[in-house]
Structure 1
Amino acid sequence: MRQFSADYLETTREGMWSDSREALADLELDSRERVLDVGCGTGELTRVLAEESGGEVVGADVDPELLSVASEFAPVVRADATRLPFAADAFDLVVCQALLINLPDPVGAVREFARASSDLVAAVEPDNGAVTVDSTVDAEPPLARRARERFLDGVETDVTLGAGARDLFEDAGLEVVSTRRYDHERVVSPPYSEAAVEAARRKVTGEGLADDRETILSGETSAGEYDDLRSAWRAMGRDVVDQMGDETYVRTETVPFFVTVGRAD
């Protein structure tokens, strides 16, 4: 399973659910007695569950550093998603966010969630293949799409499964209750945050693509094609920095998430 830093998780989930929680309606959170958030990371969804639920919410993750952050919102337990340290039917809702896309056996994980739940299982998963970027730097949207396609080609897990999670739930033996879509928008605009400035710096240096080099080259991208992409990426980054200096740079990234709810036997 891929590992993520606390800074990465907090930055990529910043503002998620702050605009609307309608897509979570079928979780019936106000009637839940015990909720488990598996792969809770730094607790972005855990906090929402705790705010919306009338019952106890518990976060679970394999990374103790991430759990130390999530513990601000709810009790936490160190646990593997495929081997939860809880008795059968210990919760009436087991949920995860952006977890199944990183697991080699997502069906097995959903079966384990169903074992631990007496009622509902829910997955909030993105379709990373359908991410869109709009930018005042003309070169950024096509380059972002190109880089994403190259990266996804080298990833071993299905990071696009959000839209097809219904089939995954059915394969795990769950009755699908519903699927709702939630679009998470991340906007960069003046005044620029420290995170936005750092992201621009990493574009100029090519550090972001360098971090993903091994994954990209695991697909069909050649070393020469990667170098060409990184060169174009750095040039685009210089345009981003120039526009930020003029306070004219605006970037909107939209990530579609799908909330799939199933009923355990």
Structure 2
Amino acid sequence: MRRFSADYLRRTREGLWESREALADLDLPDRERVLDVGCGTGELTRVLAEEMAANGDGTREVVGVDADPDLLAVAREHRGPHQSFLAGDAHRLPFPDDSFDLVVCQALLVNLPDPERAVREFARVASDGVAAVEPDNAAVSVDSTVEREGDLARRARAAFVAGADTDVALGGEGTREAFRDAGLRDVTTREHYHEKTVEPPYEERDLAAAKRKASGAALAERRETLVGPLDAEEYEDLRTAWREMGRDVVEQMGDRTYRRAEVVPFYVTVGRVDGEPSG
């Protein structure tokens, strides 16, 4: 399973839940105990707790579980009321059967080689429902004032998706399949879109990202994944074009004219553990 830094999670998920309409099918105000698997630094854990608190009942509890102790340390530092965090493996959760009425994960199944196995474990510890918020990384769109950035991003993303050792384009269709194969019922999906923008005034992390583009560092870090779908020559051609694009980004930032919008589609899939199918 891929590992992510706390800074990466914070940067990529910032503003993801400004609108929470897509979480409606989780029935969070009616939940008593919820488990967030692969909680990372706890962003979704806090959102779940806030939505559960909407009924005014202070007895509700959200537990976050992650296998990375560094991410858990950040989550605990920012822990809110009625939240706790534990170390645990998504395939071997440290809880008895039916410990939670709802088990949730966010951008976890796309990083697991066998999503169905994890969903079956979620269903074991859930008494009522399982939910997953998963992106389709093949459908990400980029609009930029640097004309070639969108095309280069598409080329790099297509190679990354093809070379990844997990289904990083799982999205809604793949998640629904994993849910049904795991025996969940009444499976539903809602679409949710996360737009990340870069525009003046730029933050330090925006400037740092532009410099990384100009150096080709981001592609170099993913070379093992990209080379395979791309041969060595195609990879070098892409990296050369990427660095040139990065220099254009740096130049436009200097003129304060650079703008970039990236839209990541997420799919909120919910299934029931027990009960007869509705309808």
Q: What's the TM-score, normalizing by structure 1?
A: 0.98
SS at match of 2:190: strand
The structure 2 residue matched to 1:207, chosen from 193, 212, 217, is: 217
Q: Distance in 2 between matches of 1:109 and 1:176?
A: 19
CA apart distance, 1:163:
2.2
Task: Give the 5 Å matches for 1:1-265.
Answer: 1-18=1-18, 20-54=19-53, 55-71=60-76, 72-73=78-79, 74-164=83-173, 165-217=175-227, 219-265=228-274
- Residue ranges of structure 2 left out of the alignment (5+ in a row): 54-59, 275-279
Write the letter of the residue equivalent to 2:62: V
In 1: Cα distance, 2:114 partner to 2:172 partner? 17
d(CA) in 2 for partners of 1:199, 1:46: 28
Contact preservation (8 Å) 1:34, 1:92: yes
Q: How many residues matched?
A: 263
TM normalised by structure 2 equals 0.93
Q: Choose 196-205 or 71-80, whichever is displaced more.
A: 71-80
Aligned counterparts of 2:145 and 2:110: Cα–Cα separation in 1: 30
Moved over 6 A (4+): none
- Do 2:176 and 2:187's aligned partners in 1 also have CA atoms closer than 8 Å? no
Q: What fraction of aligned residue pairs are identical, expressed as a percent? A: 66
Q: Secondary structure at the match of 1:53?
A: helix
Contact 2:179–2:187 (CA<8 Å) still a contact in 1? Answer: no
**Counterpart AA for 1:189:** E
Q: CA deviation at 1:177?
A: 3.6
Query: Retained in 1: the 8 A contact 2:6–2:40?
Result: yes
The 3-state SS of whatever aligns with 2:41 is coil
2:256, 2:86 → 1: CA distance?
44
